[in-house]
Amino acid sequence: MSTSRRDFLKTLAAGTSISALSALAPIDAFFREKLKEKFADKGLPSRKDYSLNKNVKYLNHGSIGTIPKMVQQTHHDYLALCETNPWFYMWSGEWNEPVAKIRKKTADYLNAEAAEVSFPHNTTEIYNLLALGLPLQKGDQVLFCNLNHAGASIPFHIHSKKRAYSVKVFNIPTDDLSSATKEDILTLYDEHINERTKLIVMPHIDNTFGLQHPVKEITALARSRGVEFISIDTAQTMGMIPIDVKNLDIDVIGTSAHKWIQAPKGISVAYFSKRVQDQIDPMWVTWGQEQWKDSARKFEDYGTRNLPEVLTLGKALEFQNRIDEPTRIEKLKSLRTHAIKLTHENPNTVWRSPIDWELSGSLFVIELKNHTPSEFAKKAFADHGFVFRPFDNYSTIRISPNVLNTHEELDELFELI
């Protein structure tokens, strides 16, 4: 305890194989050097950038994303460093500046301010926070559609019973989403917003049918009708398509960074606009409430927490930022267009997601006429290594490819169908 910081770091560097990280100051340079060494020349990562088993054809990024090797290595290095002196890692303050840099990096990624960014564990945590912490009273109503994820829905159903506000769920028909238009979705929201609606929660892209909500238009409509709070669940979009919180005029965003951002499990990203921060009570509190009272940091006042994952999130964002955005979108649209073509050519399949890219994304569902989805999924994995999400209740399989996937993988999957 009496060892000076400089002497301690010299000792640490001499006795560990990760001395490049031991002083923490060169974190950003370390990120850049690792990216220069390993990033694909074409601007898009390929399968070699990941640790996937050679026999696995992974089409399920909508459930759990693939973590790049360089992000895995960074995570390993931070964990190893922390265990060289657990007290120093947690409480010396050496990590404060690096974490602040990650918060600023994350804010830039969303066109937000650093004080509007929080690092929760996952999306469900954010919606529990809103269900408990927003000023929702008797007579107020929370509105969302049937495509809302359970993690963004169940907290309101459960906590509303004690807090006496109501929850209204309306139905977006899914029988023919392929012909859905932006006006169709706006009309449904317009029909169900009323004078009691205080909060709207919507999936940016839902995880069951892949409908991308026209968020900006819905938000403008809701504001004009007097809705006070609007939140979007970006678990299926952050890292897939660009998100500009200022342009969307959103109050709160929750996401799960282990999907499309390709970060470690147990760390995520939330956005709380400055306009609403003072109106939300934190879900848990400890020593930092006064210190962080003017920042979204107060919503992650955990005390001891998972700093290696927080810093590794920065590495994951570096990886995503090095991908040329138009090139990413072009690749994802190409995979989706190819899947639409294969679906229409195959007599055993029906396309069940929107056709228009602006109402969809790189997550789509195919109805199977000749298989029970769960049985087909088990056999496709056991015999051919395919990983995707089956939905027996809709007779569909959900395919969610990322930029490392190929047309050839889709060809083989549809051949199996």
Q: Is residue 185 part of a domain?
A: yes
Which pLDDT belongs to residue 409?
A: 98
Which pLDDT belongs to residue 28?
A: 55
Residues 303 and 332 in one domain: no
Residues 333 and 313 in one domain: no
Spatial neighbors of 94 by CB under 8 A, at least 6 apart, are 5, 24, 88
Q: How far apart are CA 123 and CA 77, in angstroms?
A: 26
Residues 155 and 227 in one domain: yes
Residues 309 and 347 in one domain: no
Q: Is 415 helix (H, G, I), strand (E, B) or coil?
A: helix
Mean pLDDT of residues grouped by 10 in the chain (417 residues)?
A: 44 45 49 54 82 97 96 91 81 83 96 97 95 96 98 97 96 94 97 98 98 97 97 97 95 96 95 97 90 93 88 93 94 98 97 96 97 98 98 97 97 97
Q: Is residue 28 part of a domain?
A: no
Q: Is residue 191 part of a domain?
A: yes
Which pLDDT belongs to residue 86?
A: 84
Q: How far apart are CA 353 and CA 334, in angstroms?
A: 16
Q: How far apart are CA 252 and CA 294, in angstroms?
A: 16
* Domain that includes residue 391, residue range: 325-416
Residues 316 and 333 in one domain: no
Residue from 183, 153, 182, 158 nearest 170 by CA = 153
Q: Is 45 helix (H, G, I), strand (E, B) or coil?
A: coil
Which pLDDT belongs to residue 34?
A: 53
Q: Is residue 206 part of a domain?
A: yes
Residues 292 and 338 in one domain: no
Which pLDDT belongs to residue 240?
A: 97
Q: Is residue 204 part of a domain?
A: yes
Residues 205 and 119 in one domain: yes
CATH of residue 344: 3.90.1150.10
In the structure encoding, which two tokens stand for residue 257, read together?
């960074």
Contacts 24+ apart (CB under 8 A), 166-171: 166/139, 166/140, 166/141, 166/142, 166/196, 167/141, 167/142, 168/141, 168/142, 168/143, 168/144, 168/192, 168/197, 169/144, 169/145, 170/143, 170/145, 170/146, 171/145, 171/146
Residues 282 and 299 in one domain: yes
Q: Is residue 152 part of a domain?
A: yes
Contact 366, 399 (CB under 8 A): yes
Which pLDDT belongs to residue 130?
A: 98
End residue of a domain, out of 320, 337, 366 = 320
Q: Is residue 356 part of a domain?
A: yes
Residues 345 and 262 in one domain: no
Residues 243 and 354 in one domain: no
Q: Is residue 187 part of a domain?
A: yes
Which pLDDT belongs to residue 305?
A: 86
In the structure encoding, which two tokens stand for residue 318, read together?
């570096």
End residue of a domain, out of 258, 293, 320 = 320
Q: How far apart are CA 177 and CA 155, in angstroms?
A: 27
CATH of residue 162: 3.40.640.10
Count of the separate structural domains present in the chain: 2
Residues 205 and 279 in one domain: yes
Q: Is 365 helix (H, G, I), strand (E, B) or coil?
A: strand
End residue of a domain, out of 320, 349, 382 = 320
Amino acid in position 317: L
Residues 243 and 119 in one domain: yes
